[in-house]
Amino acid sequence: MKNYCVLAPAGNVQALQCAVNNGADAVYLGLDKFNARMKADNFTESNLSEWVDYCHLYGVKVYITVNTSLKQSEFDDAVRLVHRIYDSNADGVIITDLALMKYCRDVLKGMEIVASTQLNIHDGYGARFVKELGATTVVMSRESTYEMIADVAKQGVEVESFIHGALCVCQSGQCLMSSMAGGNSGNRGLCAQPCRRLYGCTHNGRSKRGYLLSAKDMCGASVSDKLLKAGATVFKIEGRNRRPQYAGETSAVYSEVFKTGKFTRRQLDRLKTVYNRGDYISDTYLRGDNSDIIYSAVQGHMGLYAGKTDGNGVLVSHLDIGKGDGFKLLRKGKECGGATAVGVVGSKVRLSGDAVACADAYLTTSVSQSDRVERAVRKRVVSFDFTALVGEPVQLCADCDGTKVTVTGEVAQKALKNAISQDEIRQQLCKTGDSCFTITDIVIKNDDVFLPKSVLNSLRRTCLEQLRQRIIVNYNNRLARKHCEYKKVKSAVCGKMSCNTMVFCRDEEQLRQAVLQGADICVAVVERLNEDAVKRFLDVKREKLFFDLPPFADLDYIAEILPPDLGVCVHNVGGVQFARESGRPYICGQGMNIYNLYGDVFADCTAFVYSLELTLREIGSILNDKGYIFVDGRPVLMRFVHCPLKNTFHATCAKCDFSPLTYTDELGNNFVIDRRRDKICTFDLSNKKKMYVAHRVNTPYNFALDYDSGALSYYKALCRGAHIVYEYDRPYITGRLFDKVN
């Protein structure tokens, strides 16, 4: 029995067919709403059942993504959608919203519930949290290590690990860059990928310009055995926005790798040709190394190195090049054009007219590879048992892996002169055409009978169609589904208006001043979180003081340095579970990205910060006395596990000279990268311009802000019903409080 599942992306019908026909064990796909890859062609509610049945015919599982942040006004539609998914007999649903996960647990019995990577789960704490809400599978955060995978596997859930494809440079589920920059939210499936743009950076006299936030693609084929040993069982190939050939070729290669336990150079070349960004990383994150994540030279598909063009644009290559193959051309590591093979003689390839002389050529499209992937056909093996005895109905029995059907035809008549032979019977029964079946064994028992070939053909067609239907029915019956009525979910909205201030303090002096100015809750955002830092902050204040935990913090280490009664501000579900298990008060920080208040999932929290992707009007529909609106400061747009200094300037930990970095994009926008450290270093990226909305906010709410004396005075006065002057005279941003995200 298989101990692995190759899970392939299906961004459209063609990709699904290529994945199934090239060996995928399961596919994941999205519909036209609530789907984190809204730019893919996707599927519809009307054709979903058809393609679920298609996959189930081959024993291939189907998982549907409902993995976006859900606004309060969208939740009912999302509930109706998961009912439709349930009724389609899809195997499972991939979910980000925790209230929706809880609903599926309670109502939609028998459906696998997969906790999306957007939930940033990388430890046992996070796994226990979503398991309680009904998750049967956890998709590991892309930044997870082997040890983290093993920790999650111990919690009694299936572990799904990314094994191939694009890596987000930001920690899974912690990115607001696209929504803040242009209103297209990555959390809602419309990421504009600002991370793939050109950036410049200067640090201690050294300058670098390139795609400094563009992560390499992952290829984990060479470490598949280590992933299995760690406890992963589902191996996810990223890429629903890529070509169908990509879905097919990656499915084929990874199916071969898991079957044989070997990964060859030829297989690597196949993967690089179909898509490769820079150079693959295999287990860089997995082994806890973050020094080689970024490929700054080219942001897109690099392909497979084919050779160098001569002065006339002719390429001499060791690869098997065919007419029509496509190439990317680079000079001195920078893209300088593209070309197509227009003539091939031996190892010499004549490229199209826009070819650049003396350039490095990379094969990015192979016509023969595409044809092979698209022509692949997956067959189910069938054995026939045929009987034709005089005076009895002709009978054909089919068996496909234990699924059996029997059909009967007309009564066989004794042949007067030309009896049909067994060879003729066998020849007709083997004609499966373009069906999904192939006949490998036929047992024939016959008298000397007359039997027209048309009768045999009709019998075969009827038998195979009934077999096809029976296979699908048997598969779906194993899911043990029953009709479930839609149930209204209660919202935790209480409608109570309160007005308090939550202040994020970077050092003890900010904390001291915030206390003097009457901040109601103080959150310590410490650059180096250790016992000394904790003591310094506690010397200033203890009551209603919370320590901000980076999403990738080592929570067992945190337990050692924080007093057991001290509260924490957390940014993922693992942090919530940590707080609950240790009996600590907790705040749901911005990383929790709270969009709606259905399900009452965080009823025990002290406070929470509304998602920075919600407008004031949208927040107004879910006002809660525990909810705080972030109004002033520099909210984190990205959180990194990799070290920017190592990746950009090849620094080492031994000679670390880190100071906040400034990245500047092509439009002149500046972004600051700060370091956070507990047991390891992580990094926060924010806009150098601070968020300022005081000139547009004059109604009392619960307000959250980074410490600023003027801002805190303004919002404290507003809470008292008074108005004072607070003007910020530098360039600023307003976030999304007045301009909703897509």
CATH class of 5-167+215-274: alpha beta
Residue ranges covered by each domain of the chain: 5-167+215-274, 304-375, 381-478, 501-634+691-733
Q: How many whole angstroms separate alpha carbon 659 and alpha carbon 673? A: 9
Q: Are 17 and 244 in contact (CB under 8 A)?
A: yes
Contacts (Cβ under 8 Å, ≥6 apart) of 160 = 7, 114, 137, 138, 139, 140, 232, 233, 234, 235, 236
Name, in order, each residue with C-beta under 8 angstroms of 46's C-beta and a sequence gap of 6 or more.
none
Tell me whether the CATH fold assigned to 5-167+215-274 matches the one assigned to 501-634+691-733: yes
| Signed CA dihedral, 619, 114, 239, 332: sign only | positive
- What is the token pair recorded at 87? 């009724």
For 363-405, the pLDDT digits (tens) are 999 999 999 999 999 999 999 999 999 999 999 999 999 999 9
Structure confidence by residue, pLDDT tens digits, 72-88: 999 999 999 999 999 99
Summarize pLDDT for 213-251 with one digit per residue, the tens: 999 999 999 999 999 999 999 999 999 999 999 999 999
pLDDT in tens, 499-543: 999 999 999 999 999 999 999 999 999 999 999 999 999 999 999
Q: What is the mean pLDDT of residues 45-74?
A: 96
0.85 surpassed by pTM: yes
Q: Convert the pLDDT of each residue in 624-656 to its tens digit.
A: 999 999 999 999 999 999 999 999 998 898 888
Q: Which residue has the tokens 């032979």?
A: 421
Q: What is the predicted pLDDT for the residue at 138? A: 98
Mean pLDDT of the chain, nearest integer: 94
Say whether pLDDT at 302 is over 70.
Answer: yes
Contacts 24+ apart (CB under 8 A), 205-211: 206/649, 208/296, 208/648, 208/649, 210/296, 210/297, 211/294, 211/295, 211/296, 211/297, 211/298, 211/299
Helices (H) and strands (E) in the chain — how many of each?
A: 20, 37
Residue 495's pLDDT is 61
DSSP structure class, residue 456: H
What is the pLDDT at residue 278?
A: 80
Q: Tell me the percentage of the chain whose pLDDT exceeds 90.
A: 88
Instruction: Reduce the DSSP state of residue 151 to 3 states and report it.
Output: helix
Question: Is 294 strand, coil or helix?
Answer: strand
Token pair of 641, please? 């596990």
Query: Both tokens of residue 625?
Result: 């006395």
Average pLDDT for residues 478-503, to the nearest whole number?
83
CB neighbour list of residue 214: distance below 8 Å, 6 or more residues apart = 169, 195, 196, 277, 278, 294, 295, 296, 299
pLDDT tier for residue 497 given thresholds of 50, 70 and 90: confident
Q: Taking 70 as the threshold, does the pLDDT of residue 493 lie above it?
A: no
- Beta-bridge partners for 215: 294
**Quick one: pLDDT at residue 470?**
97
Asked if pLDDT for residue 39 goes beyond 90, the answer is: no
Where does residue 376 rank: exposed (0-12), middle (13-18), buried (19+ CB within 10 A)? middle
Whether residue 156 is predicted with pLDDT greater than 90 in this model: the reply is yes
Confidence of residue 37 (pLDDT cuts 50, 70, 90): confident
Question: What pLDDT was estimated at residue 494?
Answer: 65
Pairing outcome for strands 112-115 and 360-365: unpaired
The alpha carbon of residue 42 and the mean position of all alpha carbons in its chain are separated, in whole angstroms, by 15
Q: How far apart are the first and last CA of the chain?
A: 44
Quote the tokens at residue 454. Answer: 């048309």
Strand 158-166 with 217-219, pairing: antiparallel
What backbone torsions phi and psi does residue 110 show, to the nearest 5 degrees?
A: 90, 0
Measuring CA to CA, how many Å separate 417 from each of 81, 212, 448?
Answer: 64, 83, 9
Q: How confident is the model at residue 306 (pLDDT cuts 50, 70, 90)?
A: very high
How much is the pLDDT for 42? Answer: 83
Concatenating the DSSP letter of every residue in 296-359 gives: -S-SS---EEEEEB-TTSEEE-SS---TT-EEEEEETTEEEEEEEEEEEETTEEEEPTTPPTT-
Beta-carbon count within 10 A of 120 CB = 28
Give yes or no for residue 715 having a pLDDT over 90. Answer: yes
Topology of domain 501-634+691-733, CATH: TIM Barrel (3.20.20)
pLDDT above 70 coverage of the chain, percent: 99
pLDDT tens per residue across span 248-290: 999 999 999 999 999 999 999 999 999 999 889 888 899 998 8
DSSP class of 421 = P
pLDDT tens digits, 441-469: 999 999 999 999 999 999 999 999 999 99
Integer angstrom CA distances of residue 515 from 545, 562, 705, 721: 10, 21, 14, 20
* Residue 695 confidence (pLDDT) above 80: yes
Span 200-204, average pLDDT? 93
Alpha carbons 553 and 707: distance in angstroms, whole number: 23
Which amino acid makes up residue 333? G
- The predicted pLDDT at position 311 comes to 87
- Cα separation of 99 and 430, whole Å? 53
**Is pLDDT at 727 greater than 80 in this prediction?**
yes
Q: How many CA atoms lie within 13 A of 527 on its CB side?
A: 9
Positions of E strands within 641-680: 661-665, 670-677
- Residue 361: pLDDT over 80: yes
Q: Check residue 1 and give its pLDDT.
A: 58
Beta strands, E only, 57-115: 61-66, 92-95, 112-115
Given a contact cutoff of 8 angstroms between Cβ atoms, the answer to whether 19 and 251 are in contact is yes
The per-residue pLDDT for 93 is 98
